[in-house]
Amino acid sequence: MQATQLVWLRNDLRLDDHPALALAAAQGPIQVLFCATPKQWQQHHESPAKLGLRAASLQDIADRLASLGIVFHLIEVEYFADVAAKLAKFCQQQQSSDIWFQAETPLNEQRRDQAVTDALTKAKINVHRLAEDLMVSLPVKTQQNEPFKVFTPYYRRWLQILEDTQQVPYSEPKAQGKAISPTLLKCEWAGRFREDLWPASEQKALERLSSFCEIKIIDYKNHRNFPIKPSTSMLSPWLANGQLGPRRLLTTIQYHCFEASRDWRHDDWLRELAWRDFYKQLLLYFPRLSMGKAFKPETDQIIWRNDDAGFKAWCEGKTGFPIVDAAMRQLNQTGWMHNRLRMLTASFLSKLLLLDWRLGEQYFMNTLIDGEFAANNGGWQWSASTGVDASPYFRVFNPALQSERYDAKGQFIKRFVPELIDVPIKLIHTPPPALREQCGYPHPIVDYKYARAEAIATFKLVSSSEQGTLLHD
């Protein structure tokens, strides 16, 4: 048997623009491997929907590799801790001379990769551990060689690096011989997901990227905050699965900006992709973020409330705040939630209910199809004012104002809270008590003004250094 290059896929489920695949294929014949770790995923609260999309994407990859004559292997262990031994044995069985993979930044993933590197090096297998494949994978640091803790200067440096190191997407691997029969993968760990919204196909993801950049990117800044409009890309489930490579994202943006005579460097959507890199890189420099700790240690002194009923109402979308409930029901029904509503519901839980943000973080991971540890942790810590470059603690989103501003006609509310379908626009954001009774819709579980004042007082106790004017958002 000829020695092969083994490519180990993880959160990078694609053939297009894949550095490890392309570099390995340049060395000789490749085989491709995915190692499922269902118990570990359960510990990480990965949602059934996300696992469903993952399983279906693996089948898409296995089928396409088979048509190229490339063997795909799916193996399984329970936990990350079991991966190193399994891979060492597998590489010996398959006579793989080299293994290629792209790093991931959360701590458990880093530890798994180190264990694999040690075990395979000991077994005399060449380990090619590439950096996590971000838009900018190089360390993005300050002039003092420190990680950035504020997004805007990080972004300026990030953009500069992107400009200086223009790269083209890597090509898909070429056929290695005649097509082989595709394997039907057995993924008992997979859950159900909205395949109508996110088909498990790399091709479809690429098409959505192109059409978004062609049609919607130009109005992204003006429309992105209105949840009823499908004006954001909704690419996050595919991005979390790694179905779109960073160079493909960049060149697609650049191409469409060029076509529309716009400067890609000022593109607002590109800036959002930078947030994704920002949060991922932080995990490298601040391991405590992967350990359930707040970025601002003083906020770990907050005594959060115990309120099972409040938490349940929040999870089920029965808080009595129509926009919050519509958002939570969107999450529960589709596995996805609009960004503005993620900020609003997270602020609601951590400030107005004064519940530990980690409860919400976990619920989101358990439910989101696009759950990504770095972005989710970053988003929660931003909203709860415990994180890097976070929202100031005195910023407490006002659900009624947010609703009036971003869902003025209540269309989003009516889509997800059918009890309120007949409520007139002027009452939809805060229906009066009698109308709630009539519609079978709950009364608010907190008094906004009172809860806001309490939240600010609680945060103030531990945040003596932060000052500012009180904001009503």
- ∠ CA 432-436-438, rounded to 5°: 120
Q: Which residues contact 310 (CB under 8 A, 6 or more apart)?
A: 319, 353, 355, 445, 446
What three-state secondary structure class fits 216?
helix
Q: Which of 41, 348, 364, 406 binds ligand FAD (CB under 6 A)?
A: 364
Segment 81-140, which members bind ligand FAD (CB under 6 A)?
A: none
Closer to ligand FAD at the Cβ: 27 or 339? Answer: 339
Find, among 379, 79, 135, the residue nearest to 252 by Cα.
135
Distance of alpha carbon 307 from alpha carbon 39, whole angstroms: 29
Q: Which of 232, 386, 430, 463 binds ligand FAD (CB under 6 A)?
A: 232
Q: Which of 279, 311, 397, 459 binds ligand FAD (CB under 6 A)?
A: 279
343 makes contact with ligand FAD (CB under 6 A): yes
Q: Which of 272, 307, 419, 473 binds ligand FAD (CB under 6 A)?
A: 272
Closer to ligand FAD at the Cβ: 272 or 404? Answer: 272
Comparing every residue's Cβ against ligand FAD, the nearest one is 379
Q: Which of 310, 317, 371, 399 binds ligand FAD (CB under 6 A)?
A: 371
User: What residues are annotated to the active site?
Assistant: 272, 275, 304, 339, 357, 380
351 makes contact with ligand FAD (CB under 6 A): no
Contact 38, 190 (CB under 8 A): no
Burial 288-305 (b: 16+ CB within 10 A, else e): ebbeebbbbeebeebeee
Closer to ligand FAD at the Cβ: 322 or 379? Answer: 379
Q: Which of 172, 370, 389, 407 binds ligand FAD (CB under 6 A)?
A: 370
Contact 348, 363 (CB under 8 A): no
The backbone torsions φ and ψ at residue 182, rounded to the nearest 5 degrees and listed phi first, read: -70, 150
Segment 233-252, which members bind ligand FAD (CB under 6 A)?
A: 233-236, 239-240
Q: Which residues contact 234 (CB under 8 A, 6 or more apart)?
A: 197, 198, 208, 336
Closer to ligand FAD at the Cβ: 335 or 431? Answer: 335
Q: Which of 109, 267, 372, 407 binds ligand FAD (CB under 6 A)?
A: 372
Min dist CB 125 to ligand FAD, Å, is: 33
Closer to ligand FAD at the Cβ: 248 or 342? Answer: 342
Burial 319-354 (b: 16+ CB within 10 A, else e): bbbbbbbbbbbbbeebbbbbebbbbbbbbbbbbbbb
Min dist CB 276 to ligand FAD, Å, is: 4
Burial 226-248 (b: 16+ CB within 10 A, else e): bbbbebbbbbbbbbbbbbbbbbb
Closer to ligand FAD at the Cβ: 223 or 443? Answer: 223
Applying CB under 6 A, the residues found at the interface with ligand FAD are 224, 232-236, 239-240, 272-273, 275-276, 279, 339, 342-343, 346, 364, 368, 370-372, 375-376, 378-380, 383
